[in-house]
Structure 1
């Protein structure tokens, strides 16, 4: 598997699980915000959005970071 694709899928998994943790924490502290099925569906959408965003933006962020690092070493 391409490392860029693998990284994007892992970021998608992080987004998926982070959303589920936030929904569960809110339900424990206040009250259930959504049902389990609704929470799962929204978490899947968040995971897919995170994976797509990571895939699209990873190259740009890496290039920006490398450019910044090279500018710092030149000073």
Structure 2
């Protein structure tokens, strides 16, 4: 099994959260606006959002003050 350092695992999980959040928003848009978005476009943009969220989380860690976490 691949053992990732906690910092990398945390960043990857935030990337997953970002990608899934985008898919939820697209689903809500389709339900409310009665407009369709192709499945390929959904997953391509969700993948981009996931990568950007994961990388930005990884780069921002240590630069953003966090009072409620112990390191």
TM-score normalised according to structure 1 size: 0.78
Q: How does 1:1-75 map to 2 (within 5 A)?
A: 1-32=4-35, 34-61=37-64, 64-65=65-66
- Other-structure match for 1:69: none
CA distance in 2, matches of 1:52, 1:33: 29
What stretches of structure 2 of length at least 5 have no aligned partner? Answer: none
Query: Which runs of at least 4 in structure 1 moved beyond 3 Å after TM superposition?
Result: none
Q: Flag the structure with higher helix content.
A: 1
What stretches of structure 1 of length at least 5 have no aligned partner? Answer: 67-75
| Residues 23 and 33, structure 1, Cα contact 8 Å, conserved in 2 | no
TM-score normalised according to structure 2 size: 0.82
Count matched residues.
Answer: 64
